[in-house]
């Protein structure tokens, strides 16, 4: 075995506990914001009467599915896909 095969990676390559915690906090916050936005849109549509929902082409039973589809589309667009 060569000496270079046993050499540990430099510290900048290995994530530190602090960097992992920061990544976890960022992922958690991003998830919470997305879930909160979905809930706000769902609540807003749920407050509309059936006539107004029909005007925008949404059935009351389909609100959750439509919100998920549209929020996914928005998220993908924001990622440039």
Measured CA to CA, the distance from residue 62 to residue 60 in angstroms comes to 5
Instruction: Kindly report the average pLDDT of the chain as a whole number.
Output: 87
pLDDT at 75 exceeding the cut of 90: no
Which residues are within 8 A (CB) of 42 and not within 5 positions of it... i.e. 6 or more apart? 63, 64, 67
Of 48, 31, 41, 29, nearest in space to 71 by CA:
41
- Angle of helix 63-78 relative to helix 17-47, nearest 10 degrees? 140
Measured CA to CA, the distance from residue 67 to residue 80 in angstroms comes to 20
pLDDT band at 70 (very low <50, low <70, confident <90, very high): very high
């Amino acid at each position: 075995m060569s000496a270079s095969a046993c050499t540990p990676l430099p510290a900048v390559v290995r994530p530190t506990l602090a960097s992992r915690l920061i990544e976890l906090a960022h992922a958690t916050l991003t998830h919470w914001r997305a879930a909160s936005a979905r809930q706000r849109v769902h609540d807003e549509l749920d407050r509309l009467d059936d006539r107004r929902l029909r005007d925008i082409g949404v059935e009351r039973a389909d609100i959750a599915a439509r919100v998920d589809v549209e929020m996914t589309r928005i998220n993908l667009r924001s990622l440039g896909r």
